[in-house]
Structure 1
Amino acid sequence: MSITKKFFGKTDNGEEVNIFALTNNNGFSARIIDYGATIVSIFAPDKNGRVDDVVLGYDDLESYAKGPGYIGALIGRYGNRIKAGRFTLNGKEYILAKNDGNNHLHGGIVGFDKAVWKAETITKDGKEALQMSYTSKDGEEGYPGNLDVKVIYTVTDDNALSIEYIAFSDKDTIINLTNHSYFNLGGHKSGSILNNTLKLEADKFTVVDNEAIPTGELRNVEGTPLDFRKPTAIGDRIDQKDEQLLNVGGYDHNFVLNRTGKGLEKAAAVYDPKSERTMEVYTNKPGVQLYTANFLGKDLKGKDGAVYQNREALCLETQFFPDSINHENFPSPILKAGERYDYTTIYKFL
């Protein structure tokens, strides 16, 4: 594998941003900028060897800074929603920004997706890897603790992108790091993903209200439009008059993964019948958020002259459950002072 670096742009306050290309010997590569530790492109071959860019993105830094949808970004300090922008930790209440109606979303007004990360090439397990580092100061966006974060991106010989998230805090805090790439396995300009089939290793999902906030109920997927235990076309049931779908305009739900241990396990598989390209997702996180780009927008200008519409991509964000800190029956997102946060997600292309 090789890693190259090129200038990508400058932020409004003059910080230089670079783009890094991680490439294996099969034509598979990922391109990542140090603004938001954002995935700009993933070039993956299909069954016939044709290589397409399979994630949505932009051509320029300004679009990443000002565009909607957190496209490709590293999300933190807490991915997904926190009800009313409030949580209590060790008997103290913390107040966060309400940047999604009455709720807190994806780390706040200036989350990790808006930071310029320190990028460097390292050696991990005998291979070159790209490491992004950022220190989130105590009180940033309302969160407690100085949090040191490292995110390591590795491209492997079997056409996979591995993302390892590592963090330490000097105070007890909450943390839920994820990546917000929008995937279209036919190529980022190929239109609707509703004919793609999806399989999720999940028997339950977290029920949400009309603000996409979990109620606390873990409901069985059986008999609901959220049953993806067998490969099912995403568009088959997305417009059913089901309360859960109507609440969020399609799929925007956390699925409770059927985990058997602490190691990496398969969470999902997506298949595009036109290109015959498959993406498998592996993780050691307890949940995954399926989002079908219901509110990406109309005629959103993307890279390479693309114009994106709603439901032309899907996200599979591995995570702790949304609003976990406010539900005792959900996996805990608390990181104790001095302890290590260490989770990995792999996106593998076949």
Structure 2
Amino acid sequence: MFDISYEFVDKQVNFTKIRLNNKLEIIFSNLGASIFEIKLSDKSSKLENILVSPMKEIWLKDRTFAGSIVGPLAGRYAVNHTQLEKNRPPIHFHGGSNGWDKHLWEQSIIEETNQISLTFSYFHLNYDAYITYTIDSDCNLMMEIDVQPKIEMYINPTNHMYFNLNGSAFLPVTNHLFQIDSNTVFSECNGLIQSPFPDLVPESLDFHTLRSLNLLEQNNGINHTFQFGKNHSGILKHPTNGRQVIFKTTLPSVVIYTFNSQQETFSKNHVLYPIYSGITFETQYPANQLGIVTFTPLHPYYSKTTYNFSVKEDEDVTKNDSY
């Protein structure tokens, strides 16, 4: 049912490929406890990569957060009187200049009849961190993040995958359908969340029902923190090739970003990927709220986010959003 293979870049960095029949194939790396590639079959049994990332040699050299675990603190934070590094002045950003995405993690694997678990471990003076990815026979990918602090510290990690169900990063996700269990979004000022109380989602960001992402071009994309409703879930669909991803999490919010500008490292054969070539689901606590991400030895951090991959029949989508 499962096939496992390994690629060693050097004595330190490796890639682990886990394949489930001809439906799903995922490549992990111990660099950044990352998910580097996910190949998903479509209705015609064509297996294609549904993640957007730089070419491997660029990804290894430049580190772009793509597919990696961002931590200990994902997002943007006002430094104020804390000891947080001001790595993107005047704020702390995505774990600092030596964040988890840049670390080499220890790796172990457990094979069972209907699932495989890959655990990445990182041991620090102030904490022990474990990222466990589990793939089961129903095409579920479960991501569990367990951090055992030895002191009081701030912890708010996430995974920074960009999804694109077209199977090509050169085709934008504006032809996708998206729905999220949220009616509220956090207000921001200068890129920082300002209030612990989110606001009602404006119409242009209202995805509590399934909608086309063709509106991205009219609203300069999405780059917002959404607060989940009771189901803590969302869904991304391709209306013709049948690919579908449903994500569900224990966390209270998610950052949605739709690759709103081209980035020099995201390219293939020196051609840049276009804007809106990917969409992230960065499940996390809302950033810039240090009180709710303070953890201790008696109050450790744990979260679980599950991605279900499937192939569905065509949907007749006639709604064309415009504002």
* TM-score, reference length from structure 2: 0.88
Q: 1:81: Cα distance to partner?
A: 1.1
Q: Distance in 2 between matches of 1:255 and 1:154?
A: 26
Partner of 1:339: 299
Q: Distance in 1 between matches of 2:308 and 2:31?
A: 24
Query: Which runs of structure 2 are paired with 1:258-277 in the superposition (5 Å)?
Result: 258-259=229-230, 265-277=231-243
Q: Distance in 1 between matches of 2:270 and 2:8?
A: 18
Q: 1:47: Cα distance to partner?
A: 2.6
Contact 1:163 1:344 in 2 (8 A): yes
Structure-2 change in CA distance of 1:31 and 1:237 (3 Å):
closer
Partner of 2:225: 254
For structure 1, the 5+ residue unaligned runs are 87-92, 138-145, 241-248, 260-264, 327-331
Q: Does 1:21 align with 2:50?
A: no
Query: Which runs of structure 2 are paired with 1:216-231 in the superposition (5 Å)?
Result: 216=195, 217-221=197-201, 223-231=202-210
Q: 1:67: Cα distance to partner?
A: 4.5
Which residue, 91, 98, 122 being the options, matches 1:103? 91
Q: Does 1:193 align with 2:173?
A: yes
Q: Distance in 2 between matches of 1:207 and 1:18?
A: 40
Partner of 2:7: 7
Which residue, 262, 275, 282 being the options, matches 1:310? 275
What is the CA RMSD across the aligned residues, in angstroms? Answer: 2.3
Q: Does 1:74 align with 2:69?
A: yes
Contact 2:68 2:101 in 1 (8 A): yes
Structure-2 change in CA distance of 1:340 and 1:127 (3 Å):
farther
Contact 1:44 1:159 in 2 (8 A): no
Please give the secondary structure, in 2, of the residue aligned with 1:78. Answer: coil
Q: Distance in 2 between matches of 1:125 and 1:101?
A: 49
Q: Does 1:32 align with 2:11?
A: no
Contact 1:26 1:159 in 2 (8 A): no
Please give the secondary structure, in 1, of the residue aligned with 2:281. Answer: strand
Q: Structure 1 counterpart of 2:90, which letter? A: N
Q: 1:284: Cα distance to partner?
A: 0.6
* TM-score, reference length from structure 1: 0.81
Name the % identity: 23
Q: Structure 2 counterpart of 1:181, which letter? A: M
Q: 1:189: Cα distance to partner?
A: 3.1
Which residue, 242, 246, 251 being the options, matches 1:280? 246
Q: Structure 2 counterpart of 1:175, which letter? A: I
Partner of 1:243: none
Which residue, 124, 137, 160 being the options, matches 1:180? 160
Q: Distance in 1 between matches of 2:109 and 2:85?
A: 34
Please give the secondary structure, in 1, of the residue aligned with 2:198. Answer: strand
Q: Distance in 1 between matches of 2:113 and 2:4?
A: 19
Please give the secondary structure, in 2, of the residue aligned with 1:225. Answer: helix
Contact 2:55 2:267 in 1 (8 A): no
Could you list the per-position Cα deviations for residues 268-326 of structure 1 after superposition, in whole angstroms to 9, with x for gaps in the alignment? 10112242211111111000110001134258324x88742221001011000011216
Q: Distance in 2 between matches of 1:228 and 1:287?
A: 14
Q: 1:190: Cα distance to partner?
A: 4.3
Partner of 2:315: none
Structure-2 change in CA distance of 1:107 and 1:117 (3 Å):
same
Number of aligned residues: 309
Structure-2 change in CA distance of 1:133 and 1:124 (3 Å):
farther
Q: 1:57: Cα distance to partner?
A: 2.3
